[in-house]
Amino acid sequence: MSEAIIEPELPIIDPHHHLWDLRPLMAAFPEPRHDFIEAIAGAPYYTFDELLADTQSGHNVVGTVFMECGAFYDASRGDAMKPVGEVEFVNGVAAQGASGLYGDYRPCAGIVGHVDLTLGDGVKPVIEALIAAGNGRFRGIRHASAWDPDPEVLGPPFHAPEGLYGSDAFRAGFAAYSQFGLTFDAWLLEPQLGDVLELARAFPDQQIILDHCGTPLNIASHRGKLHENFDRWRRSIHAIAECPNVAVKLGGLAMAFCGMPEDGPAKGHGSEHLAALWRPYIETCIESFGPERAMFESNYPVDRWGASYPVLWNAFKRLARSHSEDEKRALFAGTAARIYGIEHVLPAS
C-alpha cells in the first residue's frame, strides 16, 4: 500500500522499535513454531539498514528510542550480564547516526535495555554496566511480564512467569532499580493490566511507560473477543492513568496479538481503515493520560504484521487531526523526548 505522506514536516520521535537477528532463534524451533515466531516478530532480522529505510521513508523521523528485545546478548558474560551486549550493539548503531552521515536523524538516541529484576540487589552492578555501555544514551529498562494461560497466545519465546510484577523477588529488584532514576517500560497483556496498576501505586516515584495501549488481545482463545473485553480494558486504562507516574505508548495495535487487522503480515490495509480500527483504543488512551503522558510508537518491525511504516504513521496522523498543534507536537515527539531525556534531537523551534 503506497500513500501520500500526511503532514510530512511534523517532527517524529519513534520511541519504540527493535533491532535483532532472529534467524538463530527460529532455527532452534521446529515447524510450526518457526512460522509463529516469524509472524509475531514481523521480520526475521531488523538491523540498521532496515531501520534506516523505514524511518527515512517519508515521515520526518528525527530520532528514535531502541527497546530491548533479547538480541545480541554477549555470550561471553555470565547470565545476569549478558544483556549488556545488546546495549553495546545498539550504542554502535547510535554512533552511526550521530556521525552526521544521515543528516540530523538520530537513531537510538535513547536506549532501553534489560535486567532481570528478580535478582534483588544483584541488579545494581548490571545497571551500572548498562549505563556505561550506553555511553550517555542509556535511559532505562524493560522487564516484560506478558503471560496468558493459553500457550498459543504468546508461544515459548515470550512467556514470563505468571504474576511476575507482584512477586516478592521482582519487587525487591524493582526497589533496587528505582534508586537509579531511570525509566521502566512495562509490557503485559490486557487481562494483566491490574498488575501494572498495583506496581505503579507501590512505586509512585518510578516513571513507568505502559507499552502498546496495554495490548488488547485478538488471538488464539481471545480471538473475536475485542468488543466484549473493551469495557474491561477501558476501566483498566482509566485506573492506570490516575497514577501520575505512568505514561502510555500509542501503538502496538497492528501486532498479530491484537489482531487489528486480523489478516497479515503486510496485507496492504490503508491508513483510513487502520485508523478506524484503532480509534477507540487510541482516543481512550489520549483522553485518559493526556498528550503530555502519551506518545505514538511504531513498535517496528513487530507491527509490520498490519502496516507498512509510512502507512502506520499516516494512520496515527489521521487519529490526531482533532488535536491542537501543541498537542500533536507532544504526541509525536515532545512527550517521548521529555520522558526519555532526548530533547536534544528535537529541531529548534
Looking up cell 532463534 gives: 25
Q: How far apart are CA 39 and CA 152, in angstroms?
A: 13
The DSSP 8-state label assigned to residue 183 in this structure reads E
Q: Is 2 part of a structural domain of the chain? A: no
Coil, helix or strand at residue 213: helix
pLDDT tens by residue, the chain, 349 residues: 689 999 999 999 999 999 999 887 777 766 666 676 777 778 889 999 999 999 999 999 999 999 999 999 999 999 999 999 999 999 999 999 999 999 999 999 999 999 999 999 999 999 999 999 999 999 999 999 999 999 889 876 667 999 999 999 999 999 999 999 999 999 999 999 999 999 999 999 999 999 999 999 999 999 999 999 999 999 999 999 999 999 999 999 999 999 999 988 778 899 999 999 999 999 999 999 999 999 999 999 999 999 999 999 999 999 999 999 999 999 999 999 999 999 999 998 7
Q: Domain span at residue 314?
A: 11-343
Coil, helix or strand at residue 279: helix
SS3 sequence, 235-251? Answer: HHHHHHHCCCCEEEEEC
Q: Is 147 part of a structural domain of the chain? A: yes
Q: Is 199 part of a structural domain of the chain? A: yes
Q: Is 84 part of a structural domain of the chain? A: yes
Q: Is 321 part of a structural domain of the chain? A: yes
Q: Check: CB of residue 331 under 8 Å from CB of residue 296.
A: yes
Q: What is the DSSP string of 92-104?
A: HHHHHHHTTTTTT
**In the chain, how many domains are there?**
1
Q: Is 3 part of a structural domain of the chain? A: no
Q: Is 302 part of a structural domain of the chain? A: yes
- Nine-digit cell string for 255: 501486532
- Nine-digit cell string for 244: 501520575
| CATH number for position 61 | 3.20.20.140
Q: How far apart are CA 190 and CA 219, in angstroms?
A: 12
Q: How far apart are CA 247 and CA 296, in angstroms?
A: 11
Q: Is 5 part of a structural domain of the chain? A: no
